[in-house]
Amino acid sequence: MKSVSIFSILLLIYSHAFSQDTTAKHSLQLIVGLSDFHVRDEFASSLIYRNTNFAVEGEYMIKTDKSIQSFQLAGYNAVLKTNLEKYDAENFRVSFRYNYLHNISKYKIWGNDLNIFLGGGGYSLLNFSQYNEYISEYGVLTESWYWVHSAEVSAFANYNTGSNNLGFAADFSLISNVSRPQYSYIPGTYRYSHINPFGKMEVFWNNPSVHIKIIYGYQLSSRFQILAQYNFQYSYFDEPRIIGLYMNNFLTGVRLSL
Amino acid sequence: MNKYILIIKKYLLILVCFLPLISCEDLILGPDPENTPTNNFNILWKEFDRYYPSFIVRNIKWDSLYTCYSSRINNDCTDKELWQIIKSLLYNFNDGHVTIYNTNSIYYNSSHRNSNEYEFNLDVVQSIYLDRNFHSAGKGNFTYGRFPGDSIGYLHIAAFSGLSDWAKDIDNIISGLSDVNTLIIDIRNNRGGHVPNFSYIAASFTDKDITFRKEIARNGPKHSDFTSPVTQTISPRKSSPNFTKQIILLTNRVTASASEMFALFFKQLPYSIQIGDSTSGSIGLIRGFQLPNGWLYEMPDGLTLTMDDKSLEGIGVVPDIYVRNTEEEIFRGYDRVLETALEYISGWKK
């Protein structure tokens, strides 16, 4: 039922978006770089695990004079470290974000356009880690995950000088569905992890999630733009134990107009 | 060109405004827990308090133990002193699944049992009793053969550990021993392993569904907060041979964890008896935790109950016939437990 509700909200936003314009410009973006990731998941450990790893993100964008729609997919894989030598964690993260943004105002600054967009969308992040130790014969402390699906409110500002483009985006979760491990071991399964894609419905003060993005683009030709992007993502939840995580992503790549 | 440099400078300025976020781990996630003796002790105590499933069945007064041992801790304690205090605290568990390791993998296990592994020696069985006529399978976990006379088979299972398919070798072993009248299954010195391995092997010894144990786990902060029980049933594999004639299961104090679940299964079979010593009394899986100083500690997670809701923690699976080797007997090549089993079988024959 919860998943159906979230899907319905996304579908509503999506169908509304497609009813808006007919002169859409489509583009595809691929960027790669580094993700500086930090997590404290007290279900597995009271220590912070962190590392910088390879990151890849892709985005499909439909842009009109009045609106922007984007579909973003990102993936990360890392061996996270602590301050302790004999512990690490194999971590992977996958995220998907859909945004629909409507142009609410336009300003001229230094002779160039500054467009302000407001809207919303959906965000899904799976963060999974296997926590390892290199002391006993067993080798594994536990497994843990944080899987969230959020309905978000989003804002985007875009300053365009013609060949140069600077954008600033921010997304804040409003309501979320969060899946986390149970309190402890799951009887009859011989393990802790039994990853459910859906868990508890939460409002933003219980499960705050913030995403900030700064993107710079330089137009190489009518179809190609080179990009440099900085992302900051933060999420927090406190069941069955506190998990706080954030990542700083530094990426570069190209956008191709279709 | 200058125009572009100016724009890039402006953009960099905006980026610099976000740099504090990049380097502010303490601000965003808070600091790592302090690595002090007091904090290490407190973290260990609290994690046991949250997750350990056997406080009630083992009658452990955890709050009282905190009062007793925390008074000995202060931040001037050396690592050696902290190790001794934590060892003393954990001694109260008397649980084979409660262990602490330092960063050099030196460990202390809280079990008090006299689980002397030298009271059994597979070499003695192989050389004296099987007359060196034995085979090995399952990546060395199975040793099997026949006693002189061919009517009694022998199968030793060294461990249930490992994630490969080694347990499937049991099918060939059962086929090879299908003509014996009695099978002695020896799980002495088997310290356990993975439940799926013992479950696969156990299925070779039944021709009907056997529900033989229940499992519960903590689901809240109170020592009495438990999940609903989940039962385990072993079902025969239709495509594999099975052995349902007379079975004698040999156990000792070293037989632990998943091996004890295996022994519980055989308790449900009317054609099986258990000879030897009680098993270890530490039945369950193990979860590891870390301390800020790098030490690792382990505790059981689930609690296994018999079908009549009794916990065997600290007791073990009790044999039908109690008999125990001495180290000296094994040294001179005499296995009293196995002799008792063979004698019992000769009684069956009469």
ipTM, two decimals: 0.85
Q: Is B168 part of the contact surface with chain A (CB cutoff 8 Å)?
A: no
pLDDT tens digits, A5-58: 554 554 455 555 544 555 779 999 999 999 999 999 999 999 999 999 999 999
Number of domains in chain A: 1
Q: Which of B99, B288, B302 sits opposite A141 (nearest CB)?
A: B288
Which of B290, B291, B298, B303 is the best residue to mutate to test the A interface, defined by the most A CB atoms within 10 Å of its own CB? B290
- What's the pTM? 0.85
Q: Which of A46, A185, A246 sits opposite B287 (nearest CB)?
A: A185
Q: Which of A39, A142, A232 sits opposite B18 (nearest CB)?
A: A232
Q: Which of A36, A86, A161 sits opposite B294 (nearest CB)?
A: A86
Q: Which domains does chain B have, with CATH numbers?
A: 37-109 (no CATH), 117-207+242-280+320-349 (3.90.226.10)
The C-alpha of B157 sits at a distance from chain A's nearest C-alpha, in angstroms, of: 19
- Work out the average pLDDT over B138-144: 96
pLDDT tens digits, B77-123: 999 999 999 999 999 999 999 999 999 989 999 988 766 888 999 99
The contact set of A with B (CB < 8 A) is: 36, 38-40, 45-48, 50, 82-87, 133, 135-136, 138, 140-142, 161, 164, 166, 168, 182-188, 190, 192, 212, 214, 216, 230, 232, 234, 244-246, 248
The C-alpha of A37 sits at a distance from chain B's nearest C-alpha, in angstroms, of: 10
Which chain B residues are closer than 8 Å to A186 by Cβ? 217, 227
- CATH number, position A57: 2.40.128.90
The range of the structural domain enclosing residue A145 comes to 4-257
3-state secondary structure chain B: CHHHHHHHHHHHHHHHHHHHHHCCHHHHHCCCCCCCHHHHHHHHHHHHHHHCCCCCCCCCCHHHHHHHHHCCCCCCCCHHHHHHHHHHHHHCCCCCCCEEECCCCCEEECCCCCCCHHHCCHHHHHHHHCCCCEEEECCCCEEEEECCCCCEEEEEECCECCCCCHHHHHHHHHHHCCCCCEEEEECCCCCCECHHHHHHHHHHHCCCCEEEEEEEEECCCCCCCECCCEEEEECCCCCCCCCCCEEEEEECCCCCCHHHHHHHHHHCCCCEEEEECCCCCCCCCEEEEECCCCCEEEEECEEEECCCCCECCCCCCCCCEECCCCHHHHHCCCCHHHHHHHHHHHHHHC
pLDDT band at B285 (very low <50, low <70, confident <90, very high): confident
Q: Is the pLDDT of residue B68 over 60?
A: yes
* pLDDT attached to residue A159: 95
Please indicate whether residue A239 or residue B166 has the higher confidence score (pLDDT): B166
The C-alpha of B131 sits at a distance from chain A's nearest C-alpha, in angstroms, of: 34
- Work out the average pLDDT over A233-246: 94
